Amino acid sequence: MDLADTIFEVIDMRSFSNLWFWIALAVVWSTASHWVLGVPWDLVTRAKRRGGSAAEDVEDLCRVYVRRILHVAEVSGLVMTVLACFVLTSLAVLGFGYSIEFAQAVFLLAFPMTLVGLLSLRSARIIRAEDPTGHELYRRLQIHRMSVQFIGMASIFVTTMWGMFKNFSLGVLGG
14: pLDDT strictly greater than 80:
no
pLDDT value, residue 172: 59
pLDDT of the residue at 1: 64
Return d(Cα 35, Cα 167) in angstroms, integer.
Answer: 32
pTM of the prediction?
A: 0.88
pLDDT tens by residue, 81-127: 999 999 999 999 999 999 999 999 999 999 999 999 999 999 999 99
Q: Would you state the pLDDT for residue 159? A: 97
pLDDT of residue 3: 78
The contacts of residue 26 (CB under 8 Å, 6+ apart) are none
Q: How many CB atoms lie within 10 A of CB 135?
A: 13
What contacts 103, CB < 8 A, 6 or more positions away? 90, 91, 92, 94, 95
Indicate the domain borders of the chain: 52-162
* 3-class DSSP string for the chain: CCHHHHHHHHHCCCHHHCHHHHHHHHHHHHHHHHEECCEEHHHHHHHHHHCHHHHHHHHHHHHHHHHHHHHHHHHHHHHHHHHHHHHHHHHHHHHHHCCCHHHHHHHHHHHHHHHHHHHHHHHHHHHHHHCCCHHHHHHHHHHHHHHHHHHHHHHHHHHHHHHHHHHHHHHHHCC
Give per-residue pLDDT as tens, 17-76: 888 899 999 999 999 999 999 999 999 999 999 999 999 999 999 999 999 999 999 999
